[in-house]
Amino acid sequence: MVSRPHGGRLVKRVVTGKRLEALREEAKELPRIELNYDLAVDVENIAHGVFSPLEGFLVQEDYVHVLYDMRLSNDVPWTIPIVLDVDPEEIAGVREGDDIVLVYNGEPLAIMKVEEIYGWDKKEHAKQVFKTTDTGHPGVAKTMQMKELLIGGPIDLIGHVPSPSFEKYLLWPEETRVLFREKGWKTIVGFQTRNAPHRGHEYVQKAALTFVDGLFVHPLVGWKKKGDFRDEVILAAYEALIKHYYPKDVVVLAVLRTAMRYAGPREAIHHAIVRKNFGCTHFIVGRDHAGVGNYYGPYEAWEIFNEFPDLGITPMFIREAFYCKKCGGMVNAKICPHSSEHRLRISGTKIREMLLKGEKPPEYMMRPEVAEAILSFDKPFVE
């Protein structure tokens, strides 16, 4: 059976039918808050249960628990605060208990019941979530630019944030749960990525797939830092890899629309929880998962899982792969007896440099079909 949703119940706050018409009408009279893309997609994520058990943006009690204990106030593990920041003037006249309408691109997206309006300490937030207050960290820099107040409360979805390039790959937890069941999969491993796949990724995915029924490749699309692969490029690269190198019917490719936080170990737990909601029973945790620069130790994202015996999804820690000339294939340090002179490291940075120059990386680093898919884009990287 696919995994139990986090917190015990898959949240669904998507309004349909006659109530939808009524709420859209009601929305015309309510105070409006315009959301940016990242917040808007997180509203949809909440409504479709991606962030189960959250029913809305965090109220203060939950926020404080998440910040210091990495759990919600009901003890359920939760590591990344999902918050809605506002300026005081945006909510002038709005009081706790009021309904407001969350708007994206001028269109009503959701009705929110404002349960609480509260202040927050951005530096403390950064220190707890990112383990640094250095604004060189992209997550910290973004936090410091956020607005002065947070508002918490449940939301009801009455709109949709279109993503024309990814609509085909946009699946919600209830859909993947049915899909996995229809495929007869009982054990599913989730793979989080923000990169086009190289041979190391392929090795890790296939190693994990050996032990389970299905692989759920779930690239994150949304805000990323400069120099990361563009979302369309990641998808095209995975399409090529799956088509040429994976058996049919053991892989599902879909996208997760949410921003990277670069919160390292905390975000590794968050990524696992989200995939649990999609029905995954296992989750591949990478070396320096969701890390950036040298802010986190290479295995911190593995170690943090020891603190959560009640996570409800099994982490799979698979060592980094390299090509060994003597073994004649992709291996890892645990299974290769040869010395470093025989080993060729798969460097993401080196691959990027080559692709930027329009060069195809060598085959031991990246499958030629994948490289071709990437090079078919004029600008494969975020600028």
Partner 1 sequence: MGERGKSKGKYTTVSIPITLYNRIKELIKDTGFTSVSQYVTYVLREIVAAHEEAKYSEVFSEEDKKRIIEKLKKLGYL
**Residues in contact with partner 1 by the rule CB under 8 A:** 1-2, 4, 8, 64-65, 67-70, 73, 75, 128, 168, 171, 174-175, 177-179, 181-183, 252, 306, 309-312
Kindly tell me which of 72 and 102 has the beta carbon lying closer to partner 1.
72
**Residue of 13, 45, 177, 195 marked catalytic:** 195
Kindly tell me which of 34 and 232 has the beta carbon lying closer to partner 1.
232
Residue 312 CB, nearest distance to partner 1 (Å)?
6
Is 181 annotated in the active site? no
Kindly tell me which of 13 and 199 has the beta carbon lying closer to partner 1.
13
Is 195 annotated in the active site? yes
**Burial class of residue 107 in the structure, from the number of CB atoms within 10 Å of its CB (0-12 exposed, 13-18 middle, 19+ buried):** middle
Kindly tell me which of 117 and 171 has the beta carbon lying closer to partner 1.
171
Q: Which among 377, 376, 366 is positioned nearest to 241, based on CA atoms?
A: 366
Task: Report helix, strand or coil for 191.
Answer: strand
Residue 65 CB, nearest distance to partner 1 (Å)?
5
Instruction: Render the burial of 288-309: b for 16+ CB within 10 Å, e for the rest.
Output: bbbbbeebbeeebbbebbeebe
**Burial class of residue 29 in the structure, from the number of CB atoms within 10 Å of its CB (0-12 exposed, 13-18 middle, 19+ buried):** exposed
Kindly tell me which of 118 and 223 has the beta carbon lying closer to partner 1.
118
Residue 282 CB, nearest distance to partner 1 (Å)?
14
Residue 3 CB, nearest distance to partner 1 (Å)?
8
Per DSSP, the chain holds a count of helices (H) and strands (E) of 12, 16
How far apart (Å, rounded) are the C-alpha atoms in residues 273 and 267? Answer: 10
Which positions ≥6 away from 342 have C-beta within 8 Å?
324, 325, 326, 327
Residue 71 CB, nearest distance to partner 1 (Å)?
9
**Residue of 24, 32, 71, 194 marked catalytic:** 194
Residue pointed to by tokens 């320096």: 288
* Catalytic positions, written as ranges: 194-195
